[in-house]
Chain A
Amino acid sequence: MQRWPVLLFLAWVCFLFFAGIGLFMSGFLLTRIELASSSSCSDPLVPPPWERQSLPPGSCWAPQRFSKAVLVIIDALRFEFARFNTAKASPLPYENKLSVLHHLATSQPRHARLYRFRADPPTATMQRIKGLTTGSLPTFIDVGSNFATYAIQEDNLLAQLVQNVVSGSAVMQAGFLHLVLGVRSSWDHGFIFIIFKDDKKASESGCTDVTVTRSPPGMAKRSQGQSVMLCLRSGRRVVFMGDDTWEGLFPKKFFRSYFFPSFNVKDLHTVDDGILQHLYPTVDSGEWDVLIAHFLGVDHCGHKHGPDHPEMAKKLTQMNEMLRSLVDHLGNDTLLLVAGDHGMTETGDHGGDSEKEVNAALFVYSKTPLFGTGPPEEPEVVPQVNLVPTVALLLGVPIPYSNIGEVMAELFSGDGDAVSAALQQLSVYHINAKQVDRFLHSYSLVAQDLPAEQLQRLQELFSSAVEEHTRLLAQVQGATLVPLELESRLGSLIGRFQLYLREARALCTQSWARFHPLRMVGGCTLIAASCLLCYVASELAAASDSFYRSCLLYPLLWGLVVAVLLGLAHAFTQEGLDLLIVSSWAAAASQLGFFWHWWSRHPKRARLAGSQPPLASVGLRQRLRAWLGLAFPMGILLFRCGAMFSDSFVVAEARVAPFLLASLVMLLVGKLHWDGRLTAPEGPKQQLLGFSSYRREIWYLLCLVAMLLVCVRLSSFFHQCREEIPQCRPSLFLSPLASLRNTRAKNLFYLLCVALLAGLVYAVRSWLRHYGNLNSSDPLVLFVRWGFPLVVLCIACYWAVASSADDSLGKLQELVQVAVVAFPWAVYGLASVGLLLLLCNPMTVFAKDTRESAGSIVTPYLGVPSSEVDFLHVIPQIYKRMQESQKSRLERGSCKATVAAYGLGSVYSAALVIALTLLGFLLMLLHSERLSLAFLLLFLEAFMLLHIHTRAKGLAGDAEPFSVPWYAVISWLLAASQFFYSTGHQPIFPAIHWNAAFVGFHLDHSTNLLPAVLVGANTFASHILFAVGCPLLLLWPFVCEMPSSQKRKPKKEPREEPQEMEEHMMEMRLRESPEKFSAALLQLGLKYLFVLGTQLLACVCAAMILRRHLMVWKVFAPKFLFESLGFVVSSICLLLGISLVMRVDCAVSTWFSQLQLSSYTGKVEVMLESLLGSRAFFPSKNPRNRQVGSTHSPDSVASGPLRSSGPMPRVQPCVPPLAALVPPADLAGGCVVPSAREAAGQGSLRY
């Protein structure tokens, strides 16, 4: 058997896929690391002490210019929407609608200005809001401290505005109010006095304790135990109204908020009308410092109708009216900003990086003069991130830590002359540059994705500019410069700061905010080619002899050569070696190599076929039929892949996968029926009547299908919800038992879960016992006997401890803390011991030598047989001896000398089943208690699928016993993705079960690897189980062979015996043709990878094609990420499963060779016997001998004396019913132990 080539081939194919995934991911997923630091007012970096003195109170970093600001965000306000072109005679629906902006800009050129506002991709609303508040470039994955919420963790404008807010609005708003006895509200003066009921709560409020000699005016006198706190109002009151995305991003940051649902894209008015209802009253009340209004109507109108539609005109006119009256309501100290977060394409979509999507509008207005000069002819282009430092400094708060924007200097020019304006601008630039430099420095400490040499250059630029700045300032203070020179030097210094800031931003943009279409296409192509390769190779694997040389060795060499060449090239050019690029080039080269060799072999076959025309035509027809046969499972796969391209279907995939699985199985049965496989061959009587009747086995098949469907349906009770389906309620079973209030229900569920676990162990053990795998006394079998219940016990204890109410245990608290950690570790330990045992000795075979021993009848005489004990010792032995001789007389000839090997027929499957059970225990431990029900369903469904597959294969009369049909592989994978959802998962980040990281750990992890492994195992539990169990698809039909053939046995004519005999050998048939076995394993693996890869390809294509889609960052990108991670996990587990089978095969080989060595005595027959009575034996030269009930003929077997060094002896079964071995009534009763039981008794009497 070729073990290594098979594994190597599969590993190579996996590598091809991984390279494709990696390449695509590097082009599609933009990642960045979030820093946790935040700026504060007292940061040492700004400004020099002499400048700080000039800061007015209430300002940080720079003098506050506006005490209030209104930020109106009109979602998807493209620049063209805001621009007013008077010359245009017949404007489009979206043109010339915002006349108020034009009017203000022309009538008050120093008060108002319109800009082009360039958004950074990805232009999705959530990412843009992040960008507009953090001043950074949010990517799809901002690797931060917490995946579980969408809330912005990074330092941001709102956090800066409401810093120290607990002393202000939070106390006022909620939570604390009932603790407060009285409030003297002086918000407008910047402080309040609060009297708290008790001191403890007061200290939590964050307010400062003040010693008041006198009660504050208007407050009741405080009594003992109450404290008066002075709460300073340093935070701004931020009022928000509009899109409820902000609620998730900034929980509890707002002084007051009016959220409206943003999910329904069809709804144009709810959000806008809601805002308009609250906007003016709020503005007039004056209870705010910063007001944010986020209008969604324009965006929704774009999604629904597109920009070029009368509805858009109406919507924009409404916005115009809103702005006009808003301006009237504003005071003199208020800054008004109207901004679009992104643009839209001609179809109204956004998300990508095309010109129309990134080109938004920004309008700035205040009732006091803002600008020193009039507006330029063509509106300036302002990157979106520039808004953040500008607003921060204008309002007198620190710039957020991660900001990479550049201040809009013209807003800081003020009223003075040119020099003072330039000095002011210089100071804000200086602050800005220092902040950016600090950020770049700390970012480069945590992440390496910014190129080092460019960072170095930026650093030099910055330090030289700062030096110049200090020099200049010293000269200004000394007043040694003439104004003209000063002005020019100021100008050039500002230019240097600008250059620094722009280059820094460009550097970040380059690495964070750009798709790489070339890489995406390349990755997609690699994956597609790998799928094709899998398909071609799976067709080829069985056929050819020099397969491995031409299809594995040469392509690998090609790939290696390319990799080495690239490595050398890099070494010569002294460039950094990008491992991803090298590996994808190597993968591409080896793929080319494969297809090249395949193609060069292809014509030969075609020519061969061409020389024999009749054969060719037959081949064509057969091929056509094969294609038609393929169409039905492949059609289901096609539907599944097509579903990846629609966001609704991705959202509803939890229901799509079971639907398709049920359809596939029903179609399979329907097809079998249509082909007449289910009806019995028509006898003459039936033909007369014209009726057909079902075979009896059909009912078994139908029952299996019905049970499968029930399993599929029941598994849908364990689904988690996505926020896209608002009416969905998450399954009750997902929450841990500890959260249940009702004690009785809790106990009931607990007992149910434990009973199910015990049931699973019982089922596995009885399965193993049924096939005779539980007889030996090997450590593994002992582990199955005793270790499994122990594992269950540990899990049950863990659940009991974890789900008990915390307060009820009182003094036992510490003990519980220990137990919560100890029990999972016990399970981990036991499971790993089990897996190790499985790897060391996966044989679950018990060999019993029943050769007639030449020894004496009884054990050696030990002394005077006087005592009763010795008689008791001797008599059973004599009895046994008699029984054996009787038996041997019955079996004389054929089975005279045998080695009975229990469980050899299912040795491969037994190892897999044990491994799967252990893995199942581990994974159940990581899930919440009641999901063990889902796992039970999983095992049940897999069992059903295997049986249906076996039955269908038997009924279809497949000529190829070694190939697994496509429908089986596809249904196996459909079940895998179905149970991904049925174990309470969804492909979105908030649905990940983070609790799994703390099973067995008490809230501390030294590394990130271990929790990642635990959470990953939890998330991809079903992928792991189904992938490891995949070889069962090949093995199961062999394991299940026996009962069916036994049933048919009586009907068979004697001449059919030789064929029938071969059917009895179960998995030893696989060993009989090792080449075919390895080819079959390879083929199965390739088919599995093909189906997995096709699903992945669909996801990848969907993510690539729909990267401008509204839902790309909410639906498609997470789906792609989960699917590709699932692919990686599945393929690795598939390799592990197949290598486990190989390991068992190794062990079986050594077992056979040992047996040969020890038992070689010339003409020996070795019986292989499982408890069902199937027997196989080593061939011998014995003449033909038929025994009662046994139907073998040794002549059909290659005979000859066994050579210990020779090839693996062929194994033949002979099937005497158990009764034939045991002499009838006289021996069966009383103290007599039948032979099989006796054998079992050596391992343990529990047989």
Chain B
Amino acid sequence: MKEAEIRRLLAANLLCVFSIILTAVVPAFFWDGFTVLGTHLAWLCICSVCVSALNIILHLVLKTNLSPKRSSFAHKISRFLKCCIYFFMSCILFHAIIVLYGAPLIESVTETFLFAVLLSTFTTLQCLCMLGPNIQAWIRVFSKNGAMSIWESSLQITTMCSILGAWFGAFPIPLDWDRPWQVWPISCSLGATFGYMAGLVIAPLWIYWNRKQLTYKSR
């Protein structure tokens, strides 16, 4: 059973990776002059939208989240609204953190905010899909031995990889190479994207590797 689930996880993750690659390639066919570096903001929007759409669909299909006990329509609506608010708040929070880390305060607000949206897509949206708007569950998942399923382990790994990627992405900014990708926030967003993709690939492999050691508590 576990093997099968890992396979499903791998497939879902590979689909995500593939979709991200597509967002970099496909729009160029419809839109002359589209490049990831040149029209970076557009790509940021496209990537965020695609990844979030795909994630939501995948989680609806695969039913990885805790099934809510009460499933009245009103409850669903309130849940959805709560999710939206949480997502928006996480965007704001990421924006604040990025600025605190040294991003320009007044100039290029759009860039910073879109980067924050991308980071939220890679991290918060996943949590929302999988755990719902339940902060306490989030706290539990992101601590040692907190994961309760392979999906949650995967969530841990991808989130950390995305943030680590964004962190490392800041490193080339001061270098005097004069490359187009050194412009804020391109290197960071690319770093986050590569980190996310790496996390997506690593997660199933790591879980497969450690499947003997990973014993999840029952819910």
Please list the residues of chain A having a beta carbon within 8 angstroms of any beta carbon in chain B: 266, 646-649, 651-652, 655-656, 658-659, 662-663, 673-676, 679, 690-694, 709-710, 712-713, 716, 724
Nearest A residue (CB) for B143: A676
Q: What chain B residues lie within 8 Å of A647 (beta carbons)?
A: 176
Nearest B residue (CB) for A652: B174
Task: Take A659-B170, A709-B100, A713-B100 as given contacts and tell me if A693 and B136 are in contact as well, using a CB distance cutoff of 8 Å.
Answer: yes
Are the C-beta atoms of B144 and A676 separated by less than 8 Å?
A: yes
A161–B118 Cα gap in the complex (Å)? 64
The answer to whether B175 has its CB under 8 Å from any CB of chain A is yes
Give 1 or 0 for each of B160-179: 1 = CB within 8 Å of chain A CB.
00000001001000111010
Q: How many A-B residue pairs have CB under 8 A?
A: 63
* B interface residues, how many (CB within 8 angstroms): 23
Are the C-beta atoms of A691 and B137 separated by less than 8 Å?
A: yes
A674–B142 Cα gap in the complex (Å)? 6
A208–B219 Cα gap in the complex (Å)? 102
A399 vs chain B, min Cβ distance (A): 41
Are the C-beta atoms of A690 and B174 separated by less than 8 Å?
A: no
The list of the 8 closest CB pairs from A to B, nearest first, reads A652-B174, A691-B136, A709-B100, A648-B175, A648-B176, A713-B100, A676-B143, A648-B174
Are the C-beta atoms of B174 and A663 separated by less than 8 Å?
A: no
The answer to whether B180 has its CB under 8 Å from any CB of chain A is no
Task: Take A266-B178, A659-B101, A662-B101 as given contacts and tell me if A674 and B136 are in contact as well, using a CB distance cutoff of 8 Å.
Answer: no
Are the C-beta atoms of B143 and A690 separated by less than 8 Å?
A: no
Q: What chain A residues lie within 8 Å of B144 (beta carbons)?
A: 674-676
Q: What chain B residues lie within 8 Å of A710 (beta carbons)?
A: 100
Interface residues of B in 180-219 (CB under 8 A from A): 217, 219
Q: What chain B residues lie within 8 Å of A658 (beta carbons)?
A: 102
Task: Take A673-B143, A713-B99 as given contacts and tell me if A692 and B136 are in contact as well, using a CB distance cutoff of 8 Å.
Answer: yes
Q: What chain A residues lie within 8 Å of B175 (beta carbons)?
A: 646, 648-649
Q: What chain B residues lie within 8 Å of A646 (beta carbons)?
A: 175
Task: Take A655-B102, A658-B102, A674-B144 as given contacts and tell me if A649 and B139 are in contact as well, using a CB distance cutoff of 8 Å.
Answer: no
Task: Take A656-B174, A716-B102 as given contacts and tell me if A675 and B140 are in contact as well, using a CB distance cutoff of 8 Å.
Answer: no
A647–B174 Cα gap in the complex (Å)? 10
Are the C-beta atoms of A692 and B140 separated by less than 8 Å?
A: yes
Are the C-beta atoms of B178 and A673 separated by less than 8 Å?
A: no
B31 vs chain A, min Cβ distance (A): 31
Looking at B99, B136, B139, B176, the one whose CB has the most chain A CB atoms below 10 A away is: B176
A714 vs chain B, min Cβ distance (A): 10
Are the C-beta atoms of B102 and A659 separated by less than 8 Å?
A: yes
A692–B142 Cα gap in the complex (Å)? 11
Q: What chain B residues lie within 8 Å of A692 (beta carbons)?
A: 136, 139-140, 143, 146
Are the C-beta atoms of A663 and B167 separated by less than 8 Å?
A: yes
B128 vs chain A, min Cβ distance (A): 17
Q: What chain B residues lie within 8 Å of A690 (beta carbons)?
A: 137, 140, 148, 217, 219
Q: What chain B residues lie within 8 Å of A656 (beta carbons)?
A: 174
Q: What chain A residues lie within 8 Å of B142 (beta carbons)?
A: 673-674
B21 vs chain A, min Cβ distance (A): 30
- Interface class of chain A by DSSP: helix
Give 1 or 0 for each of B77-110: 1 = CB within 8 Å of chain A CB.
0000000000000000000010111100100000
Q: What chain B residues lie within 8 Å of A662 (beta carbons)?
A: 100-102
Nearest B residue (CB) for A642: B171
Q: What chain A residues lie within 8 Å of B178 (beta carbons)?
A: 266
Nearest B residue (CB) for A264: B178
Are the C-beta atoms of A655 and B99 separated by less than 8 Å?
A: no
Can you list 21 A-B pairs with a CB-CB distance of less than 8 A? A646-B175, A648-B174, A649-B174, A649-B175, A651-B176, A652-B174, A656-B174, A659-B101, A662-B100, A662-B101, A662-B102, A663-B101, A663-B167, A673-B143, A676-B143, A679-B139, A690-B137, A692-B136, A692-B139, A692-B146, A709-B97
Q: What chain A residues lie within 8 Å of B99 (beta carbons)?
A: 713
A647–B175 Cα gap in the complex (Å)? 8
Q: What chain A residues lie within 8 Å of B167 (beta carbons)?
A: 663
Partner of A675, one of B101, B143, B217: B143
A269 vs chain B, min Cβ distance (A): 16
Are the C-beta atoms of B136 and A712 separated by less than 8 Å?
A: no
Nearest A residue (CB) for B175: A648
Are the C-beta atoms of A712 and B143 separated by less than 8 Å?
A: no
Q: What chain B residues lie within 8 Å of A663 (beta carbons)?
A: 101, 167
Q: What chain B residues lie within 8 Å of A648 (beta carbons)?
A: 174-176
Task: Take A675-B143, A676-B143, A693-B136 as given contacts and tell me if A712 and B100 are in contact as well, using a CB distance cutoff of 8 Å.
Answer: yes
B119 vs chain A, min Cβ distance (A): 14
A712–B97 Cα gap in the complex (Å)? 12
Q: What chain B residues lie within 8 Å of A712 (beta carbons)?
A: 100
Nearest A residue (CB) for B219: A690
B67 vs chain A, min Cβ distance (A): 15
Q: What chain A residues lie within 8 Å of B97 (beta carbons)?
A: 709
Q: What chain B residues lie within 8 Å of A679 (beta carbons)?
A: 139, 143
Q: What chain B residues lie within 8 Å of A651 (beta carbons)?
A: 174, 176
B214 vs chain A, min Cβ distance (A): 17
Task: Take A651-B174, A663-B167, A690-B219 as given contacts and tell me if A713 and B143 are in contact as well, using a CB distance cutoff of 8 Å.
Answer: no
B83 vs chain A, min Cβ distance (A): 18
Partner of B102, one of A674, A675, A713: A713
A693–B138 Cα gap in the complex (Å)? 10
A652–B136 Cα gap in the complex (Å)? 40
Nearest A residue (CB) for B100: A709
B52 vs chain A, min Cβ distance (A): 25
A314–B197 Cα gap in the complex (Å)? 45
Task: Take A266-B178, A648-B176 as given contacts and tell me if A691 and B100 are in contact as well, using a CB distance cutoff of 8 Å.
Answer: no
Q: What chain B residues lie within 8 Å of A713 (beta carbons)?
A: 99-100, 102, 105
Q: What chain B residues lie within 8 Å of A724 (beta carbons)?
A: 176
Q: What chain A residues lie within 8 Å of B102 (beta carbons)?
A: 655, 658-659, 662, 713, 716
A705 vs chain B, min Cβ distance (A): 10
B139 vs chain A, min Cβ distance (A): 6
A385–B148 Cα gap in the complex (Å)? 77
Looking at B142, B175, B217, the one whose CB has the most chain A CB atoms below 10 A away is: B175
Interface residues of B in 117-149 (CB under 8 A from A): 136-137, 139-140, 142-144, 146, 148
